[in-house]
Amino acid sequence: MNATFDLVVRGGTIIDGSGGDPFEADVAIIDGRIAQIGSIPGSGSTELDAKGLVVTPGFVDIHTHYDAQMTWDSRMQPSSLHGITTAIAGNCGVGFAPCRESERDTLVRLMEGVEDIPEIVMTKGLPWTWTTFPEFLDYLGSRRYDIDVGVQMPHSAVRVFVMGERGANREIAEPEDVAMMRALVAEGVRAGAFGVSTSRFEGHRTRAGSIAPSVDADQAELLGLAAGLRDAGGGVFQLIPKLPSNPDAEFELMTRLVRESGQSLSFTMLINSFEGDTWKRFLELLEGQAADGGPRIRGQAFPRPVGVLFGLDLSFHPFALNPSYREIAHVPLAERVEMMKSPDLRARILSEQPQDPNPFALRLVSERADLYRFGDPPNYTPPIEEELSRIAKTRGVDERAFLYDELLRDGGKAILYRPTANYINNSLDDVRTIMCSDSTIIGLGDGGAHYGMICDTSYTTYMLSHWARDALPGARVSLPWAVREISGKPASAIGLFDRGTVALGKKADLNVIDFDRIGLRSPSVGYDLPGGGRRLRQAAMGYEATIVNGEVTYRNGEPTSALPGRLLRRH
């Protein structure tokens, strides 16, 4: 007897991504689309038993940096390990198109500094078969992936393409420069880009300390980018505001950009200790414009602390920029650990101060407060008494020497954790306030970036395991709400109305989840990027299956041979 359907997921509890109540049903799939939901008598060529399990839509991350990885890799890990079935790259104004041959080094150095992707990885991995942004999309469109991917146009690349060295050196754009940028944005969006992105954050620099080309762009230039969206009749505007922020000034600019483009805008919205209660004013402005029916601006929120990871096998640690450590940084880990145990070298490293032209890097390694052991499973919300400087003080030992020894634990593979944002006073209360606002979107996974210092793509798993299950009853959110926030809501925010919910005719992107088991393992380091480059990966527990375009891509956390993901073009 011939099968009626390509795939049937049997007997699961459906959390459909709309926020509605759970219900038990089968889900049948034909040609990558959901064909039936309910009690389904027909058979599938493949059947999955989901009895006792949760069936959700595939998750959508609108803030990633897979611009480079998607040119050489078919698996968008770590994102695809955490139920994410759609990812949007080209954020923060950095990327690789449009680009002439003479500009490649500039964009590579910028991505290395801003997103912590080693230069060798990009020089070995990027094929550079394109010049224009439409040609970049055509190249990506020829490839296959384990998830669907889309790309936004990066402002810094557009600026350098138009202005050359003047653009890289952050000179003021002339009216003719702005007109050309506007035309390029319109061209890219018409070809399928999901919008345009920029950064106004001075911390976005090359490793040598040069500020990203987009950071000092004046209002006329930014309005030119927005006009490009208007010309194309669609797309979104994504930005990182100035930090520290003047919320009223930044929000006024964003309002002008939305009015000029006629399209929506989202911006990175984190809670930083150096900004005090700035986030409260941003949230007040967001909810005010939404209530008034004004321009649609949303904050991109993150549901846990942003965790910077430090270790001898990672990009940074408290002694990474000390001269004597830099002399041995290239030595294999095991050998380096033995060298660091030498009393003479230890004394030299401990006596030195970090040296680097990049002030952000210097600040990162110089701050020794708020460092914790990470553990396995990782603890993203450690109590203050577990802070390593406090432990050192309690034991009456030198803080720097204590951190040095901590780095040598586990054969030098120990990971230290610093919650750099979203964990003020060791609490997630403010994070909950932001993420529960209708004016914010959960995202900021940053997949494809920060290979050696951040591994935040696992936020979807954390959303389910912490907020929907393990949080205290007064803070816990419902599972239907949590699923909507990482599927249906971000999908609609980026203009993808064919996914994000389990509904008839929608794309068959699904997760089958053992909710009782869902959880995270500690990140681990691998050297599988081009040129032997390093990256952090983080495994998850509880994902029984992930389905993309009707094909099973992961079973019990392990990839299948299926690569049904494709480049998405905004139309």
- Print the SS3 string covering 241-276: CCCCCCHHHHHHHHHHHHHHHCCCEEEECCCCHHHC
Distance CA 419, CA 425 (A): 11
Show Cβ contacts of residue 521 under 8 Å, excluding neighbours closer than 6 positions: 376, 377, 378, 538, 539, 540, 541
Residues 123 and 139 in one domain: yes
Last residue of a domain, one of 397, 420, 443: 420
Q: What DSSP designation does 474 have?
A: T
Residue 122 lies in a domain: yes
Residue 228 lies in a domain: no
Determine if the peptide bond prior to 244 is cis (ω within 30°): yes
Distance CA 272, CA 419 (A): 10
Residue 127 lies in a domain: yes
Residues 143 and 277 in one domain: yes
Residue 66 lies in a domain: yes
Residues 477 and 361 in one domain: no
Distance CA 13, CA 485 (A): 18
Can you give the pTM of this predicted structure? 0.96
Residue 40 lies in a domain: no
Tokens at 311, concatenated: 């270790």
Residues 350 and 399 in one domain: yes
CB contact at 8 A, 77 and 445:
no
Residues 432 and 484 in one domain: yes
What pLDDT does residue 307 have? 85
Only one residue has tokens 């309910």, namely 38
Q: What DSSP designation does 361 have?
A: H
pLDDT tens series, the chain, 571 aa: 568 999 999 999 999 999 999 999 999 999 999 999 999 999 999 999 999 999 999 999 999 999 999 999 999 999 999 999 999 999 999 999 999 999 999 999 999 999 999 999 999 999 999 999 999 999 999 999 999 999 999 999 999 999 999 999 999 999 999 999 999 999 999 999 999 999 999 999 999 999 999 999 999 999 999 999 999 999 999 999 999 889 999 999 999 999 999 999 999 999 998 898 999 999 999 999 877 776 699 999 999 999 899 999 999 999 999 999 999 999 999 999 999 999 999 999 999 999 999 998 999 999 888 999 998 999 999 999 999 999 999 999 999 999 999 999 999 999 999 999 999 999 999 999 999 999 999 999 999 999 999 999 999 999 999 999 999 999 999 999 999 999 999 999 999 999 999 999 999 999 999 999 999 999 999 999 999 999 999 999 999 999 999 999 999 999 999 999 999 999 7
What pLDDT does residue 251 have? 96
Residue 183 lies in a domain: no
Residues 382 and 516 in one domain: no
Residue 382 lies in a domain: yes
For residue 441, give the nearest of 502, 497, 484 by alpha carbon.
484
Last residue of a domain, one of 390, 420, 450: 420
Residues 299 and 332 in one domain: no
Q: How many CB atoms lie within 10 A of CB 304?
A: 20
For residue 301, give the nearest of 421, 432, 441, 439 by alpha carbon.
441
What pLDDT does residue 571 have? 79
Residue 470 lies in a domain: yes
Residues 356 and 326 in one domain: yes
What pLDDT does residue 294 have? 63
Residues 290 and 366 in one domain: no
Residues 398 and 439 in one domain: no
Q: C-alpha angle with apex 80: 75 to 86, nearest 5 degrees?
A: 95
CB contact at 8 A, 130 and 97:
yes
Residues 296 and 147 in one domain: yes
Domain count, the chain: 2
First CA to last CA distance, the chain: 40
Residues 441 and 470 in one domain: yes
Decide: residue 287, CB within 10 A, 0-12 exposed, 13-18 middle, 19+ buried: middle
Q: What CATH number should be reported for the domain holding residue 134? A: 3.20.20.140
What pLDDT does residue 290 have? 72
**544 SS3 class:** strand
Q: What are phi and psi of 443, to 5 degrees?
A: -175, -135
Ramachandran category for residue 12: left, alpha or beta (phi over 0 → left; psi -120 to 50 → alpha): beta
CB contact at 8 A, 182 and 228:
yes
Q: How many CB atoms lie within 10 A of CB 399?
A: 17
Distance CA 502, CA 14 (A): 8
Q: Which domain holds residue 372?
A: 308-420
Last residue of a domain, one of 420, 443, 468: 420
Show Cβ contacts of residue 442 under 8 Å, excluding neighbours closer than 6 positions: 300, 301, 302, 303, 435, 459, 463, 485, 486, 489, 490
Hey, which residues does 55 pair with through a beta bridge? Answer: 14, 512
